[in-house]
Amino acid sequence: MGTRIAVGSWVFILLTLFSQPQPSAQSSPPAVPGESEVQARATALLQRMTVEEKIAQLSQLPGTPVPEFTENTQRPMEEILKQFGAGSILWISDPKEINRLQHVAVEQTRLHIPALFGLDVIHGYHTIFPAPIAMASSWDTQMVEQVQSVAAQEARAAGIEWTFAPMVDIARDARWGRMVEGAGEDPYLGAAMARAQVRGFQGQELGSPDHLLACVKHFAGYGAAEGGRDYDSSYIPDVLLWNVYLPPFKAALDAGVDSVMSAYMDLNDVPASGNRWLLHDVLRDTWHFQGFVVSDALAVKNLVTHGYASNLQDAAHKAFSAGLNMDMASGTYLKYLPLEFQQKKISMRQIDDAVLPILETKIRMGLFEHPYADESRLEQILNMPEHQQLARRAVERSVVLLRNHGGLLPLDKKTIHSIAVIGPLADDQTDLLSMWGALTKPGPTVTILQGIQDKVGPSVHVAYAHGPNLSRNIPSPFEGFPITAALKEQPAQTDQEVQQAIVDAVTLAKQSDIAILVLGEIDLMSGEAASRASLKLSNHQEDLLEAVSATGKPVVLVLINGRPLEISWAAEHVPAILEAWYPGSQGGNGIADVLFGDANPSGHLPVSWPRASGQLPLYYNHNLTQSPETAPDFKSRYWDILSAPLYPFGYGLGYTTFSFDHLQVTPEARIGGNIQVSAEVTNTGKEAGDAVVQLYIHQRSGSASRPVRQLKGFERVTLEPGTKHTVHFTLGKNEFQFWSPSEKKWVLEPEHFDVWIGGDSSATLHGEFRLAK
């Protein structure tokens, strides 16, 4: 943490000491203070603080009982808050309790410093929007920004000021449970989604009314856990760190994010929460980050568990010295940093440098002037109809149509008299939200069964069969935890009960004109501590699908899940497959809109979809190798299955079709100049729809082998039938440069390039250009 000198006169600082604003509930938007005022006020406050009060600002207190915290502190959380204050309090979503504790922080502490109340508002607080992997499938950054702005507005109205989002970890292995929280496998798309989410959460600038402090996580490499096993070690060479895993974090910083969360795992044998190279050399020295770093839950204490720290004091020392400002919920800083200071292992200068950005953030956010939530506004904000309208629109734009053989979709209400809705997720509310959506204060959720019933009305008979229950072989550690009490597995069944459930579903399908099966994962099957070795449909869902398909009735498969699943059989035998991810509060209505043609599906995959778990990790932007997959005689890298994905990155169907032609490319530019690329996209179908136009490049040679293709531009275009639109892209330094493992630095190289434009990563419209010296 570098030394920072406040700007401003000593007269101003002295005035600040004795003229603190009077706190109130926010009734009118405060003016965002300028940087000189922020730094002067923070410096003045810092000079009045005892070392114990400073270390309290470096501590996040748990709002729910945590044994590790109690073991370290030996005191109730609220007693610590009264005596010393707190940097932050987390895991409370009730606005009355938030206000009560904030009154303690502001009115009963010596310096009246408000606490930051944090919660995992990942994709909604009351209105739950589609999960982040779904929002990335929209390829619609404007919509994503709107979604997170609404999430911020609702959360801030409830007294929450800090969200632990966005998660921007690149995920190339679908076995990893937390793929659901990110934007998939690609750094360019991931960076775009990171920027959009930060802008949505924080507004135009930190301190914007009705917005939150965002926290980009998990820094860094968490998504590369070996074998897709959550919390396991990541081994990532520098070339992949700089070119793949770090760009979304840099994009979030460039968008103004003011806090960063460190990751749990070992990165190249050094735990990320005690990794000075990550938290200091990269984050502060290279990127000049001026905000603060918070650990993930209990991660400071767990440096001992890793075998990195010899004891808890050593853990506090290593995390703090690495550049970690705030200890989340373990109480390790509270207990051991005072001892570190007494023993002169850390200095007051280091403590001040760690505390200052936390105070500055609170000042920027206006918490000293408006620390309390105005509870009189809460119901009005949570029940704004436009929030539900946006949630429904987000579902429509994020679902991905994977298969539509024979044009089965959209369904025609006029010709269908009876519908069998089948599956353990068809009439479930909580499991449409994801584990993080269920964590906050979600409002009513429209199930898929309800959405279909409301869509077709009483003239069409809609009947429901549950099918087999869904449960994990090994229970989730989050089941039964106080803040995740809503998360529950479905009850276990005997083999006889499972078979009877399948028989009942088949009987219903035979009696109906069409069967809509809703299968996938309950929320506890995808998320934190939810990695899996196999991606197959679990709990006899595959048996259910095959049995219903055997009736000969038309079948639509709707998937509810947080990652690609193994659906190779369905991809050959089920005529229509719709990937809905975890769609949120308006899931039922949005999916019904798509199924019956009131919305045209336009989502595209942010991940490569595997045929089998044995292909993982799987990603499109691999290298050519000595045996390129584009060679005429290439078949597969495996002898038992095709090594190509079942569905490529960027793939998605709709109810219309598009063609791409008339590619124009600047043939040559000097290094430092720009290449202009344009192409014409035409709606060749009979319905209006959205094309997601994607641009990929390949550098043919240089100081390192370069990926066969890299996404470097995209645009979502709405077209009426028969109409055309010319899309334009500018490629410059940011698109061409890469970190070279040979040069050990960022390079721009004078080489020949390929460029493609199309609707997914297998686009065929091709051109070329050259960068010259």
Catalytic amino acids? 296
Long-range pairs, 208-212, Cβ under 8 A, ≥24 = 208/32, 209/26, 209/29, 209/30, 210/152, 210/153, 210/156, 210/157, 211/149, 211/152, 211/153, 211/156, 212/121, 212/152, 212/155, 212/156, 212/160, 212/161, 212/162, 212/163
- Pair 333, 354: CB distance under 8 Å: no
Residue of 301, 517, 529, 537 whose CA lies nearest to 424:
517
Task: Give percent helix, percent strand, percent coil of the chain, each to the nearest 5.
Answer: 35, 20, 45
In the 8-state DSSP scheme, what is residue 275?
A: -
Burial degree of 74 (CB within 10 A; 0-12, 13-18, 19+): exposed
Cis peptide before 220 (omega within 30 of 0): yes
Q: Dihedrals φ, ψ of 158, to 5°?
A: -90, 0
Partners of residue 670 on adjacent β-strands: 772
77-84 vs 95-107: helix axis angle to the nearest 10? 40
Question: What is the spatial distance between Cα 252 and Cα 289, in angstroms, rounded to a whole number?
Answer: 11
Burial degree of 65 (CB within 10 A; 0-12, 13-18, 19+): exposed
CA dihedral 433, 435, 436, 441 (to 10 degrees): 60
Strand pairing class (418-422; 400-404): unpaired
Cis peptide before 617 (omega within 30 of 0): yes
